[in-house]
Structure 1
């Protein structure tokens, strides 16, 4: 009907990645996740990773909480895991 919103009368709307509920602030959660994903992507680039092989991306939960997802080629994820394992063994970066 004219004048009705797209989601009027609906409890939730299914989308590709889950369900959107009217009245939930998904944008704020996504923005927070986007800032974190951008920071992680810059760190990955600085560590020599290619974003075409390993990338963080922002999304939200059904409740509007921000989520950062990391996706990459398995061999590149193994390389990242090795880097993190080495950093965990040497948390001070080798400083005396």
Structure 2
């Protein structure tokens, strides 16, 4: 097998976060998700949240679509839920 690449002949490569397939543009999806996650993190900071307790992060799905995941301590997530509920009540409806 000398001279062959580590992944030559494989249809997909298993990585830490799942399965990656050749030819899928994961980077484009991740970049889109990163922009959205950064925007959400700035909004969380502006609302008084600490990113060490509640943070949005970018990732992708198996087909390359971007995904933003929000993770935080349960009490902090509960505080965020209360803020969103109040904002929805103030507006009459939650904004899309």
TM-score, length-scaled by structure 1: 0.89
Residue by residue over 1:29-74, the C-alpha shift from the partner in whole angstroms, topping out at 9 and shown as x without a partner, is: 0000000000000000000000000000000001000000000000
Distance in 2, matches of 1:51 and 1:21, equals 32
How far residue 15 of structure 1 moved from its aligned partner, in angstroms, is 1.2
Whether the 8 Å contact between 1:41 and 1:55 is mirrored in structure 2 is yes
- How many aligned residue pairs are there? 91
Gaps (5+ residues) in structure 1?
none
Gaps (5+ residues) in structure 2?
none
TM-score, length-scaled by structure 2: 0.89
RMSD: 1.2
